[in-house]
Amino acid sequence: MPTRILLVDDNRDATEALALLLELEGHDVRYACDGGEALGVVESFVPQVAFIDWNLPDMSGGDVVARLRLNPALSDTRFISLSGSSLPDIGQGAADAGFEQNVTKPVTLEQLLACL
Q: What value does the mean pLDDT take over residues 37-41? A: 97
Catalogue all structural domains in the chain, each as residue range(s) with its CATH number: 4-115 (3.40.50.2300)
- pLDDT recorded at residue 85: 59
How many whole angstroms separate alpha carbon 14 and alpha carbon 2? 21
pLDDT at residue 109, as a whole number = 86
User: 3-state secondary structure string, 56-111?
Assistant: CCCCEHHHHHHHHCCCHHHCCCEEEEEECCCCHHHHHHHHHHCCCEEEECCCCHHH
Does the pLDDT of residue 105 top 90, yes or no? no
CA distance 32 to 41: 7
pLDDT digits (tens, 9 = 90+) for 46-104: 999 999 998 899 998 999 999 999 999 999 999 999 877 555 555 566 667 788 888 88
Handedness of CA 46, 67, 33, 49 (dihedral sign): negative
